[in-house]
Amino acid sequence: MQLSHRLRALAALLAVVGGPLSVHAAQESAASISASSAPASILSSALSSVSASAVSSASVVPSSAPTSAPVSSSAAVSSSAPGPSSSAPVSLSSVLSSAPASLSSVISSAPASVSVSFSAASSASASASISSVASTPISASSAFISVSIPASNASISASTTAPPSVSVSASAAAAGSPSFNSGTGTETGPITVPLSEYTFSSFPVASSTPIPKVFVPVTPANPPPVSSDEIPDFAQAWADAYEKAEAFTLGLTVPEKVNVVTGVGWENGRCVGNIPAVGEWPGLCLEDSPLGVRDTDFNTAFPAGITAASTFNRSLIRTRGAFMGAEFKGKGVNLALGPMMNMGRVAQGGRNWEGFGADPFLSGAAAYETVLGLQSSGVQATAKHFINNEQEYKRTQESSNVDDRTEHEIYVAPFLQAVRAGVAAVMCSYNLVNDTYACENNRTLNQILKGELGFRGFVMSDWSAQHSTLSAVAGLDMSMPGDIDLGSHTSWWGPNLTAFVDNSTIPDSRLDDMVTRILASWYFLGQDAPDFPPVSFNAFNNNDPATNQHVDVQGDHWTVVREIGAAGTALLKNNGALPLNKPKNIAIIGSDAADASMGPNGFSDRGGDDGILAMGWGSGTANYPYLIAPVDAIQDRAVQDGTDVNWWFLDFNTAGAQTAAFGFEAAIVFANADSGEQYITVDGNAGDRNNLTLWHNADNLINAVAEVNNNTIVVVHSVGPCILEAWIENPNVTAVLWANIAGQEAGNSIVDVLYGDFNPSGRLPYTIAKSPSDYPAQPTGGGGPNDIISVPYTEGLFIDYRHFDAQNITPRFEFGFGLSYTTFAYSNLRTSTIAQQDHDSTQLEQAWAKGEATPNVEGASTAVWLHRPAFEVTFEVKNTGPVAGGEIPQLYLHSPDSSEPPSLLRGFADVLLSPGESQTVRITLSRYDLSVWDVDAQGWRKPSGAFQISVGASSRDFRLSGTLPV
């Protein structure tokens, strides 16, 4: 017997309320109610009638699967475990006072259970046509509430009562700490938020006192200079924004408040995400992407995050953010949906290119500068995807199982830096984290993000990543795009949230907090200014003259695109072939050098690989205003130099390529590797890459050309690391440039490097291995259509180069590697403690020095005393070569504990030097940089012993060493 969504939900509800009643009997009972006579109001009434007395015999939770998920007719309902007590309402903020506490920990023992099946939530899809902006949430008549029961072997407290923990190697649980699921295979089912009555009081605001020249009051429009010792103090700016937001919220009705937190639904507005106007407040426009304004025109297609990170240049990263922010604001966007800061844990990860690489320090520094840059231009930045969304396969049906120390030190780290930069919004991710969906995960959203980090902005869902109405009590503040499935015209919130507030399941104070956070972020960025631009584009119909004003926001932003493309290019091999010096003739080989046959935007969301690769595919893209191919840029240079140019773009016709390259002074072979988001499949790759080989027969093409030309230069445009063993040691391959994905000026950027107009200074933000099996983590596959798979992060802290170092595996090219056309010498290392004139945090600093963990209080992980510069390392760098060039000195910390990763990046700088010029480089370290996460104490602790440091040109090229005076 097939039941509708509503009746299925009611059947599950009746099964719970009725005690040990078979699911089949519950379905029969529900079947007596016709679909037409069971609107959402009946289900809301049914749920509101399930008072504490009803729940006391069994726990009811909203379904984590919004699509049809029939309950197994053979499942037996157990009534042996008592449910939550009606006399103990849950206070969300109170549980933060002791870290292990959570929503579930204050609820009595395990609820009744039943075996269920789960269906995948829809993911974002390509653009379609759009209707006008909606002014109301999803209609109540079409909304429904779905409920389910935790699976039989899942305990509510399994991952939410306390943080999971393992030892450093993540191979065994720490004594006295709760374990986490480190196994492979499939999960039994998600842990969900119990239906109960909750209380809420606002999160305490961490107190802070400005410190002259250290902790300086600023606004988002006026951040500290790049590389300054000053730490931005946004406390007063947030306080002013909250005062305005709270005053506005006081005048709203419950339905109006619900409108503020619920998107209008897919394709019901001009932006990819829309919040309707409420009273005099104009609502919000949310728009992708992390590399430019998506789904519009007359915008800039910036280099991807991975390319920006490869520059190791904070100034360029800040400028990129500021220019992008100006374009978002210029188009009338309130929230830019970026930056993306998930880690490159898996080399094949489809969206790695949107982020900043495989090291938490580098990713954190890039996130910090990008957020400051974006918000300096008046747009709200969105840190995403929180958290553990490191693969595309089954991203809505996988549980990333991560121990607590690894979570804090690796995956939370970039988000922590974004919060320090004053980020206005955080987007929770599609996946589950330790068996609980990320968008209703009390541990990650309430305890870590809003508690430990002191995050004052709001949390939005990724598109259709919400799984229940009660996600509100677990920390979600905004539902995007508002409907359960894209275009379903159903909503977990909207009228359902109103009902849950009216019947006191969700307290009005929590709804006020959600609204206040959203409005405060709007005020925080000064978007209440009367001259803030209106939305001037239509993300779903770019050719509609009524809704697209074709506003040009590009300015001279192409200049930084070209510079980052060059600065992010890493020279991996050079036997004297580069830079080119007016060659008499050159052959250009490979389709990656060419213009795309269907134009730069021929594939929707760049879901194809034809011609020069300058960004990956998916929602993290933007339309190109133009795209400079290498063949065009090289020909422009050839005109100046009097060089003859030949080319061959048929990658699989290697014989033709040999003919085209034979006899030429140099043959430049262009190759690429692409990836993207899982809703688009390209050449059999459904987001994640199927392997780490170069695309389009590149290995064979390179070897074929090198067979006939002893000066073969290889240029690679890639979304991530690739295996190069097939040709890298070929003596006729004389140079290799790793150009990442460089945006609209890609051809000009690579020509600047090829000809020496820009001396390459890019560094690898990940390790290039000799074999895929050398990496510590591989993509997790398997599982049936309705299965939730387990993705165990068993490598723990040993991500990327940390694993290679610990296991003594020789990579092909290590993290941080990159050559230059000149040479540099390092000397005169000195270390010292930075004197402090203030004594505001003396007791905390002294306790830290003794090895005591930081206090477990709101904002403890972002406290100024923990992050202010405490130690200074200086050294000299000299250009000992014949040409001007930039060097990227890197500082690595070596822990006194031999069981720790051997080396950790803890600082870097960019130094531009003329031949013979020297410069003193200064890198500072904070107490946070030296700390580890203490799982038992739930705080940051200094390990005992001496801290050794090394300074050099990569993670394996150390030139100087010393000891910190700790």
Active site residue ranges: 462
Distances (CA, A) of 820 to 305, 495, 823: 22, 61, 7
Strand ranges across the sheet with 432-433 = 186-187, 788-792, 398-401, 432-433, 436-437
* Amino acid in position 40: A
Q: In 227-386, which residue ranges form alpha helices assigned H by DSSP?
A: 235-250, 254-261, 305-310, 314-330, 360-376
> Quick one: DSSP state of residue 361?
H
Residue 894's Cβ-count burial label (10 Å; 0-12, 13-18, 19+) is: buried
Residue 705's Cβ-count burial label (10 Å; 0-12, 13-18, 19+) is: buried
171: Cβ–Cβ under 8 A, 6 or more apart, which residues?
Answer: 794, 796
CA pair distance 716, 431, nearest whole angstrom = 32
Question: Comparing C-alpha atoms, which of 350, 345, 351, 443 is closest to residue 388?
Answer: 345
CA pair distance 275, 334, nearest whole angstrom = 10
Contact criterion met (CB below 8 Å) for 748 and 755: no
CA pair distance 125, 607, nearest whole angstrom = 12
CA pair distance 766, 357, nearest whole angstrom = 6
Distances (CA, A) of 784 to 117, 120, 395, 691, 778: 11, 11, 13, 22, 19
Distances (CA, A) of 658 to 585, 671, 725: 15, 16, 21
CA pair distance 763, 862, nearest whole angstrom = 29
Question: What are the structure tokens assigned to 386, written together?
Answer: 């929180």
CA pair distance 340, 275, nearest whole angstrom = 22
Q: How many CB atoms lie within 10 A of CB 28?
A: 13
CA atoms within 13 A on the CB side of 100: 14
